[in-house]
Structure 1
Amino acid sequence: MSTLVIGNAYNEHLVGDLGALTPERRDALGNISLRLAWLLEPGDVLVVPQPVTPAFLHHLLDLKGLSADEVTVLVPPPGRFGDGILTGDRLLDPGFVERLRPVLAENAVDTVLPYAFDSAVAELARLLGLDKGTPGFGFLEEGGTDLLNSKCAFRAIAAGRGLPMAEGVATGDRAVAQGFAARMLAGGRPVIVKQDHHAGGYGNDILAPHPGVDPIGASRAVLLQDPAAVARHFDTHWAAYTGGGRHPVVVERYHPDSVPLTAELEIHDDGVDLHHVAMMRMRPVLDGIAISPACQTEEQRTAFADGARDLCVPVRAMGYRGLINIDVILTPDGEMLFSEFNGRLGGTTHLHHIGTRFLGSDYATRSTMLTRNSWRVGSMEQARAYLAERGLAFDPATGHGVLVTCDSTRRCGTVEYCIVADDPDTARATERALALATA
């Protein structure tokens, strides 16, 4: 049987206010959904917000040993935010739903796998008869993933499991949020303000009591050196932080120079499987991934994996089935602090599929995979030619080289690459060679 894969990354379910983003930013974020093409198997149907360039699809299918007639890629009509992001109105467009029906029947599609299982996906699944074949559908249909993509819900569940977290508050009360921030800043400690529903570090602010605090996991650092400045900041930004008062916020102590790690796990009827632990490369928000045994010590990896599995216990008991991404930071003092979870596909899901297909199930402990989201090239064709001419293109026979994992050239003039090597030094040397490329 086959799967309907839906690339609804950064939709209205995951982003507090899509209208606050520029059309260019929405285009860039929606383009990330094209990564899901790496998940395709024969008979699968992929729905994405933007067309997949023939050169990118050929690159991907050729490496996977598939032909173009074995998979189907569809793009719905534009919606209220245009054609950059796959919003619910596009997914549920009546004409598009009717277009899907015969395609799914022809390919014997019996389950749905979205990037994020929101209410629009649940409605579409019911309309197309895919609800019974989708594990955990009851939890998903009732909005369960709202809990699993909430930073506030995360703090409550993690605290209940006794997992270490940064000192902080989850609240919809401005006085509580502002008061915590003011106390931290008065003591010389920076804080991070996190919107409850957002992804990739977007929507977060660092509030700093002194210059020199570099933002990691946030778009900016704001200097606030007295209580009056703190009050003015919350006057100006409280509505944005809370989505016009609809959502609470998280305010936590910020630990500068920490290393952010993420783990992807799969929750199923029989238990929980760990896919990998990865380091998030921030500039200052997420711009790449490093999966390598050298990114953390064995002790750190074990502690993270144990804590992540423990966090999955109540999540599994609630009825969730599927992928979950759990983040921690490693502070300069050696603390491991759990920071959030996301019950959905994530920025490393396609890398897991690439790793298992080309390197084996133990890829995360014996190889290095190094990615950047934005290698500037003129076109997908130019990227492939550059890699081929210099002998850098990925070779499935050796398991080494560079794959183009997402093509953003139409909208952003960039591609995302993934370097696969035996060790970090070799991967970094290849990355330096890519940095010399010019469009």
Structure 2
Amino acid sequence: MNLSRGLPALRFTDPGLEGAGAQRTIVLGDPTDHEQVLKEAGLTATHAPQGEIVLEVFHPGCTSVYVEVDCPEHGEAVVLNGGQLRTDQHPPVLAGLALPPRSVPGPAWEHFTSEALRMARFMQSLGCRGLASIDAVIDQAGNVWFNEVNARLGGSTHLHHIVETLVGPHWTDSHVLVSRFNVRAPALAHLLPAMREHGLAWDSQRGHGIVIASDDTAATGNLEYVVLAHNHEEASDLEDQLTGLLAQHDS
């Protein structure tokens, strides 16, 4: 269940299975027929000259999660932050993050983070230094399936620095973070005053509010926002209010 954008998901014998992260899905009659796989995926023999085709397995009803780790030059690897990937439903592609995760059972999350840290320590022993994002899915039975490691800056790196700057290094004791990107919005010159007027902008006294994490409204009309709140209910309320405000500007 990889949430990479723009890639088709190859669905085999279960036409009712949704491939989260895929913008197009294909039902194959015979999963062992590599010729059909290549044809349906739009590939040619040059993409897999030795027949080395990697097929993703999609587990229904899963939650996509990640942790960002730091493998320093000196000292042990540490978990910096972790959370749940948010998706838009049509199609179900990556839309943002929720830190900590909203809907992952505690034991499954603890197992995932401990195994991710063990993986990070192994990576460190191989010479890996710096940041890495370790991804997995957690199925309905609580099983953890690791599916990807990106040894680089991740989609939560800037979020980590934003919340640590505004709330502090122990922010998870008192706050949650919700982000969303590719959000249609007016120029910041219009949006920020409206957010302040409606009490949505980050307020250090109240300890909650919304921060614009990146602005591309001039080029694409989109931006990314971050909601910082004391709990997910408060975060959802702030996000709903912002959605309503953006709808007014869009009308």
Q: How many angstroms does 1:201 deviate by?
A: 4.2
Q: 1:393 to 1:211 in 2, by over 3 A?
A: same
Q: Contact 2:180–2:225 at 8 Å: present in 1 too? A: yes
Which structure 2 residues correspond to residues 31-180 of structure 1 after superposition, within 5 A? none
Q: How many angstroms does 1:393 deviate by?
A: 0.3
Q: How many angstroms does 1:221 deviate by?
A: 2.0
User: What SS class does the counterpart of residue 253 from structure 1 fall into?
Assistant: coil
Q: How many angstroms does 1:317 deviate by?
A: 1.4
Q: TM-score, normalised to structure 1's length?
A: 0.51
What's the counterpart of residue 96 of structure 1?
Answer: none
Q: 1:280 to 1:415 in 2, by over 3 A?
A: same
What's the counterpart of residue 167 of structure 1?
Answer: none
Q: 1:397 to 1:409 in 2, by over 3 A?
A: same
Q: Distance in 2 between matches of 1:228 and 1:300?
A: 33
Structure 2 gaps, min length 5? none
Letter in 1 for 2:219: R
Q: Distance in 2 between matches of 1:355 and 1:344?
A: 20
Q: How many angstroms does 1:233 deviate by?
A: 4.0
Q: Contact 2:136–2:146 at 8 Å: present in 1 too? A: yes
Q: Contact 1:401–1:420 at 8 Å: present in 2 too? A: yes
Correspondence 1:338 to 2:146: yes
Larger Rg computed on CA atoms:
1
What's the counterpart of residue 434 of structure 1?
Answer: 242
Partner deviation per Cα, 1:138-177 (whole Å, 9 max, x = no partner):
xxxxxxxxxxxxxxxxxxxxxxxxxxxxxxxxxxxxxxxx
Correspondence 1:265 to 2:102: no
User: What SS class does the counterpart of residue 97 from structure 2 fall into?
Assistant: strand
Q: Distance in 1 between matches of 2:191 and 2:48?
A: 43
Structure 1 gaps, min length 5? 1-191
Q: Distance in 1 between matches of 2:230 and 2:221?
A: 30
Q: How many angstroms does 1:426 deviate by?
A: 1.1
Q: Distance in 2 between matches of 1:275 and 1:285?
A: 25
Correspondence 1:420 to 2:224: no
CA RMSD of aligned residues (A): 2.8
Q: Give the count of matched residue pairs.
A: 243
What's the counterpart of residue 174 of structure 2?
Answer: 366
Q: Contact 2:200–2:242 at 8 Å: present in 1 too? A: no
Q: Distance in 2 between matches of 1:425 and 1:298?
A: 19
Identity of matched residues, %: 26
Out of 91, 95, 108, the residue aligned to residue 300 of structure 1 is 108
Q: 1:335 to 1:271 in 2, by over 3 A?
A: same
Q: Contact 2:10–2:28 at 8 Å: present in 1 too? A: no
Q: Distance in 2 between matches of 1:241 and 1:365?
A: 53
Q: How many angstroms does 1:273 deviate by?
A: 1.2
Q: 1:406 to 1:247 in 2, by over 3 A?
A: farther
Out of 234, 237, 253, the residue aligned to residue 38 of structure 2 is 234
Looking at secondary structure, tell me which structure has more strand per residue: 2
Q: Distance in 2 between matches of 1:351 and 1:360?
A: 13
Letter in 1 for 2:15: P
User: What SS class does the counterpart of residue 43 from structure 2 fall into?
Assistant: helix
Q: 1:275 to 1:219 in 2, by over 3 A?
A: same
